[in-house]
């Protein structure tokens, strides 16, 4: 896929105030740890994740998506009447129906002449939404669009802890299938895309490439659809090690085709933002792609895996903290369960396109995270 007229005009994020450390989760898992004689610190050691965040109980995804999308629209400085599409792309949603995007559209006060829908594809939902909105802009069906999502991890983590403590038949090997569930964090992200005629930034989306290796679709799965917000008690099983290696292998195959599609060489890629899973995954992926770790920007140590919003949140924080410079060629590298790969190329021109939480609130954690990833 290639684009000539699509610009990434603004990107925003919102994070919960409540921070939950891996050490605190292990305290809650004391019955399991004692029974299986698991060493303290195991969770952070295995994943590299020191903490994640939870929304207040009862928070609906649409509430935070409205807040985050409003930040992005204000940062873009565009007329809301020009927004012709709103895509809600997170795994989490308010209800089975209607589309969570409907409530977000209403909350934002957007035009009736606006395409509104949800898209779901595990950790690639927002990236898929970006592609769909970019296609509509390129075809001149719309002038601007918003892609937004909010992931909420509290119920998954708490339900997982409850099951691990109550099922005394579980072995160490079986417990491994639940580790990925304990890494999940909460967050919200939004992206505004516009036709170049409306752009003030000139941050052009050059193109992208997608790859489906769906033979691995059973490596990570939740239970049956339990998306109703009020009674959701989700559980997820993940063969983390196999998924990591198979995902990286699929990503490596896709990366070469991605470079060919957008007309870049490896040396042209100045900066990267990746889906945030864990430190081991990050290192192996960058090694496999032959990319410099210094060009990448990690947030997984203090945010955990925030699903579909992980990559855009990381990009927004990276922009705020000066990771991108004018004329950087940026690769957005998405790998999600399924296994699906989606990579996008952005020709970055200006660093003034964010509408987010105060960067100073996170700076100490970011500095610690970056230092740890360089060791």
* Active site (catalytic) residues: 97, 123
The span from the CA of 142 to the CA of 369, in Å, is 39
The conformation of residue 305, written as its DSSP 8-state character, comes to B
For the chain, what's the residue count? 375
Phi first, then psi: give them for residue 216, nearest 5 degrees: -100, 25
Half-sphere exposure of 89 (CA within 13 A, CB side): 30
The span from the CA of 280 to the CA of 79, in Å, is 43
Nearest-10 Cα torsion for 120, 153, 236, 91: 0
The span from the CA of 52 to the CA of 20, in Å, is 5
- Structure-token pair, residue 71: 């930040």
Cis amide linkage into residue 348, ω under 30° from 0: no
Contact 121, 340 (CB under 8 A): yes
- Structure-token pair, residue 94: 């308010």
| Cβ partners under 8 Å of residue 364, min gap 6 | none
| Cβ partners under 8 Å of residue 287, min gap 6 | none
- Structure-token pair, residue 120: 């779901």
């Amino acid at each position: 896929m290639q684009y000539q007229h699509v610009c990434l005009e603004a990107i925003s994020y919102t994070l919960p105030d409540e921070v939950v450390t891996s050490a605190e989760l292990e305290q809650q898992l004391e019955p399991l740890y004692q029974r299986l004689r698991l060493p303290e610190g195991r969770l952070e050691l295995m994943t590299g994740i020191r903490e994640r965040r939870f929304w207040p109980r009862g928070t609906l995804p649409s509430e935070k998506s409205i807040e985050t999308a409003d930040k992005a629209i204000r940062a873009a400085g565009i007329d809301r009447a020009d927004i012709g599409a709103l895509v809600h792309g997170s795994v989490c949603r308010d209800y089975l129906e209607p589309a969570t995007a409907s409530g977000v559209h209403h909350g934002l006060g957007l035009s009736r002449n606006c395409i509104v829908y949800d898209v779901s594809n595990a950790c690639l939902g927002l990236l898929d939404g970006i592609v769909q909105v970019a296609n509509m802009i390129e075809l001149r069906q719309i002038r601007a669009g918003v892609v937004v999502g909010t992931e909420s991890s509290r119920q998954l983590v708490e339900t997982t802890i409850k099951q691990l403590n109550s099922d005394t038949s579980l072995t160490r090997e079986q417990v491994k299938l639940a580790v990925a569930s304990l890494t999940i964090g909460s967050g919200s992200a939004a992206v505004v895309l516009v036709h170049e005629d409306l752009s003030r930034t000139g941050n052009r989306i050059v193109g992208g490439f997608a790859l489906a290796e769906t033979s691995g679709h059973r490596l990570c799965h939740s239970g049956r659809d339990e998306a109703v917000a009020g009674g959701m008690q989700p559980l997820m099983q993940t063969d983390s090690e196999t998924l990591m290696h198979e995902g990286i292998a699929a990503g490596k195959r896709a990366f070469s085709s991605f470079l060919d599609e957008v007309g870049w060489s490896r040396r042209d890629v100045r900066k990267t933002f990746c889906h945030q899973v864990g430190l081991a995954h990050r290192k192996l992926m960058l090694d496999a792609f032959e990319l410099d770790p210094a060009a990448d920007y990690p947030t997984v140590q203090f945010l955990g895996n925030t699903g579909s919003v992980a990559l855009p949140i990381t990009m927004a924080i990276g922009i705020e903290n000066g990771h991108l410079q004018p004329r950087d060629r940026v690769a957005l590298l998405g790998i999600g369960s399924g296994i699906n790969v989606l990579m996008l190329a952005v020709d970055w021109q200006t660093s003034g396109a964010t509408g987010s939480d105060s960067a100073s609130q996170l700076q100490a954690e970011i500095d610690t995270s970056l230092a740890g990833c360089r060791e």
